[in-house]
Amino acid sequence: MTSLNSATGAKAAAILGFGGYRPRRVVDNAEIITMIDSTDEWIRTRSGIVERRWASPDETIQMMSVSAARKALDTAGIEPGQIDTVIVSTVTHLHQTPAVATTIASELGATGAAAFDISAACAGFCYATAMADSFVRTGASKYVLIIGVERLSDMTDTSDRSTAFIFADGAGAAVIGPSESSGIGPVVWGSDGDQASLIGQTEPWDTAVRDAEGDAVWPTLRMEGNPVFKWASYTMAKTAAEAMDAAGVRPEDLKVFAPHQANMRITDAMFRALKLPADVVVARDIARQGNTSAASIPLAIEALLESGEAKSGDTCLIIGFGAGLVYAGQVIVLP
């Protein structure tokens, strides 16, 4: 068989910088309970959320992504022109084509970068991290910009008691590039399509819009809370443990735990199930940000680094899980 050349990549890859964008508008529980029959206490107990951010019309997927990306590039000390690949993970860019990654690359000045969007729900940032790591190590890319960005509020049914208080908006970015030693552990990832009905958009745009008799009904996000909680707390804890194993990190070596900020109760249940040492720093960004799907992990990490709770060089376990069902976890070293 003919053998072609293979590209040579870097011997190792790492995340070089994080950056985030949080929408201006703070929506507290008092405002949420004007829309649904609930209480501030119930929302806090059920999810840990005190307030969340909803994007205004000018805070588009493009705008938030570019802002988060600029911060990440700055922190990483990388020029936009050095980025040769842009991956955007989102389920709320409501425009099929062109991918928003292309115009983001363009606006940033990442001229000619390979650019594409991925749809991996709340596992999106971890999926993108795995891809970026592989691209850098196989030579497909040198510097990859990954962005998790959502306007979940565009797809939230504010009359749905079970979801109106959860979903929120924002963008988180990271720059991944070559490194002397590996700062990204092997990904443990997968899907469970048999449970696709547990979380997702109520109906496709074509049946909602084109086939509507009378006024079209805007599709929204719905979720079956209890089965998802069980899956996230236990099955995902096993995935997280496998990711630590794959990276060669023992619980006592772990410094930071930054799971997708789905629900504070899930974070706590996973922490217990993983039997992590009590001094591990736990990401609790959801309290003031809400659940921002693909953006939640990078936003949570940015917050921990900015506050000093997490430090450069800390080993950090990240795991995303969501609609699909999809999941991905890995250990990273914080830049």
Partner 1 sequence: MPTTEEVRTGLAEIVNEVAGVPADDVQLDKSFTDDLDVDSLSMVEIIYAAEEKFGVSIPDEEAKNLKTVGDAVAYIERAAS
Question: Which tokens hold the place of 69?
Answer: 């990306």
226 forms part of the interface with partner 1 (CB under 8 A): yes
CB closer to partner 1, 11 vs 230? 230
> Of the listed 29, 93, 126, 260, which one is catalytic?
260
In the complex, the smallest distance separating the C-beta of residue 292 from partner 1, rounded to whole angstroms, is: 21
Q: Does 297 bind partner 1 (CB under 8 A)?
A: no
State in angstroms the smallest separation of the CB of 168 from partner 1: 20
Minimum distance, C-beta of residue 109 to partner 1, in the bound complex (Å): 46
Q: Which stretch binds partner 1 (CB under 8 A): 115-123, 224-232, 306-314, 320-328?
A: 224-232
Structure tokens at 3: 């053998």
Single out the residue of 24, 30, 39, 45 in contact with partner 1 (rule: CB under 8 A): 45
Q: Which residue, 142 or 265, is less far from partner 1 as judged by CB? A: 265
In whole angstroms, the minimum distance from the beta carbon of 266 to partner 1 comes to 9
| Alpha helices (H) in the chain, listed in sequence order | 29-32, 40-47, 61-76, 100-108, 124-138, 205, 225-230, 236-247, 264-274, 286-289, 296-307
Handedness of CA 118, 294, 13, 329 (dihedral sign): negative
Helix, coil or strand: residue 60: coil
CB contact set of 191 (below 8 Å; sequence gap of 6+): 324, 325, 326, 327
Q: If binding is defined by CB under 8 A, does position 265 make contact with partner 1?
A: yes
**Count of other CB atoms within 10 angstroms of residue 191:** 14
Give the torsion through C-alpha atoms of 76, 287, 326, 178, to 10 deg. Answer: 10
Q: Is 48 in the site for partner 1 (CB under 8 A)?
A: no
Strand partners, 176: 15, 144
| Residues of span 233-252 touching partner 1 by CB under 8 A | 233-234
Please identify, among the stretches 12-20, 71-79, 128-136, 220-228, the one whose residues bind partner 1 according to the rule CB under 8 A. Answer: 220-228
Decide whether 78 or 240 has the Cβ nearer to partner 1.
240
Q: How far is the CB of 123 from partner 1 (least distance, A)?
A: 21
Task: Yes or no: say if 151 and 294 are a contact pair by the CB < 8 Å rule.
Answer: no
Active site residue 95: no
- Please choose, out of 63-71, 87-95, 132-140, 223-231, the segment that lies near partner 1 by the rule CB under 8 A: 223-231
**Segment near partner 1 (CB under 8 A), from 200-208, 226-234, 291-299, 306-314?**
226-234
CB nearer to partner 1: give 110 or 269: 269
CA 301 – CA 303 distance, rounded (Å): 5
Q: Which of 122, 126, 263, 316 is catalytic?
A: 122
CB-CB neighbours of 321 under 10 Å: 28
The answer to the question of residue 70 lying near partner 1 (CB under 8 A) is: no
Spatial distance between the Cα atoms of 265 and 47, rounded to a whole number of angstroms = 6
Does 46 contact partner 1 by CB under 8 A? yes
Dihedral sign of CA atoms 260, 261, 265, 268 in order: positive
| Catalytic status, residue 226 | no
Based on the shown chain and the rule CB under 8 A, indicate whether residue 269 belongs to the binding site for partner 1.
yes
* 13 touches 184 (CB < 8 A): yes
Q: How far is CA 117 from the centre of its chain?
A: 13
Site residues (vs partner 1, CB under 8 A):
45-46, 225-227, 229-230, 233-234, 265, 269
Residues tagged active-site: 122, 260, 291
